[in-house]
Amino acid sequence: MIIVNLKGGIGNQMFQYALGKKLALKNNDTLKLAIDTLQKARSVGDMHRPYSLDAFSISAEIATASEVRTIKYPYGIISVWVRFINARILKKTNIGFIPEVLNWRGDLFLDGYWQSPSYFTDIRDTLLTEFTLETPVSDVMSSYKQQIESSTSVSIHIRRGDYVENPRVRKEFGICEPAYYKAAIVHVTEKLTAPTFFIFSDDIQWVKENLSLPESTVFVQDSGLKAVEELTLMAMCKHNIIANSTFSWWGAWLNANKNKIVVCPTPWFENNSSDLNLIPKIWIQLPKA
């Protein structure tokens, strides 16, 4: 059995699921998801992120507490101490690409962020199918979908929220400054004829006040629009300008347009230590500040 320990927001959960799915297919094994870390996030000082993958057509069940204990701690107290040392002392978060992971077999408890398409590019078709919405789309989403499909659509994702308000998160990721978005828009405009820009953000008001945007701009904002619907709408756009956020990373990666232009910020992390293998080679990287 393979159990994936889910943590973080939608984008992080999708990376974690993607590796689990890859190993489950390769090893002909059962894949299950542990969500207790999500449920305990607030109690350890992290932002609460809900379990979000149930909105997609994924093929994995939630692991029981007994299954998690059995797979996570196969050697009892020894396993507990090994995991404590890795997480608290060695601070292993398994962010980037670790090639030997793809050779793991047997019962596995995958605890990490696994942020690299190198783990799962060869099962892209499977993930495109599984990361489609399970339930019928809302009327609000249908309206934006029609606009996106009938234009030379370019998504722009501006991440604010905890990137601005949480000192720890800001120190790790930094912010994509207006200069980045200006340069990205110029790049895309030079390549496309009459593009329409669709703005996705957790702070639309800030965007309106601080970014100079083309006239052909649509602000995607509605209280009835779910986060998974926004991500799916980004993936429906023909081209993408993303933030250093796994949320918009997946919007761009799931974009099925074979001629898509994707602009992303560099460095992704402020310390620039974990960018390797995260950004596909065909994406355009521009300075985020």
In the predicted structure, residue 206 carries a pLDDT above the cut 90: yes
Instruction: Check whether residue 74 and residue 197 sit in a common domain.
Output: no
Confidence (pLDDT) at 131: 98
Domain boundary, last residue among 112, 130, 148: 130
Based on the domain organization, do 53 and 31 belong to the same domain? yes
Q: Same domain, yes or no, for 174 and 264?
A: yes
Q: What local confidence, expressed as pLDDT, does residue 42 receive?
A: 46
Residues 197 and 274 both lie in one domain: yes
79: confidence class by pLDDT, cuts 50, 70, 90: low
Task: Give me the long-range contacts of 256-265 (CB less than 8 A, separation at least 24).
Answer: 256/128, 261/154, 261/187, 261/188, 261/191, 261/192, 263/184, 263/187, 263/188, 265/176, 265/180
Same domain, 122 and 164: no
Same-domain status, 246 and 166: yes
Q: How far is CA 155 from the centre of its chain?
A: 15
How many domains does the chain divide into? 2
For residue range 112-138, what is the model confidence (pLDDT) as tens digits?
999 999 999 999 999 999 999 988 889
Q: Model confidence over 143-199: pLDDT tens digits?
A: 999 999 999 999 999 999 888 888 888 888 999 999 999 999 999 999 999 999 999
Average pLDDT across the chain, whole number: 90
**pLDDT higher than threshold 60 for residue 225:** yes
Q: Assign residue 265 the CATH number of its domain.
A: 3.40.50.11350
CA separation, residue 22 to residues 15, 123, 156 (Å)? 11, 7, 29
Mean pLDDT of all residues in 234-242: 98
pLDDT for residue 74 is more than 80: no
In this structure, are 190 and 212 located in the same domain?
A: yes
pLDDT given for residue 216 in this prediction: 96
DSSP string computed for 95-139? -S--GGGGG--SSEEE-S----GGGTGGGHHHHHHHTSBSSPPPH
Tell me how far CA of residue 89 lies from CA of 45, 75, 172, 214, in angstroms: 18, 20, 19, 49
Both 19 and 109 in one domain: the answer is yes
Type of residue at 116: S
pLDDT tens digits for range 19-47: 999 999 999 999 999 999 897 754 444 56
Q: Which residue has the higher pLDDT, 78 or 229?
A: 229
Look up the domain containing 106 and give its range: 2-130
Q: Residues 267, 145: one domain?
A: yes
- Residue that terminates a domain, selected from 104, 130, 156: 130
Which of these three, 64, 95, 130, is where a domain ends?
A: 130
- 259 and 227 share a domain? yes
Confidence of residue 17 (pLDDT cuts 50, 70, 90): very high
Query: What is the model's pLDDT at position 271?
Result: 77
Task: Clarify whether residues 147 and 272 are in a common domain.
Answer: yes
Shared-domain flag, residues 157 and 256? yes
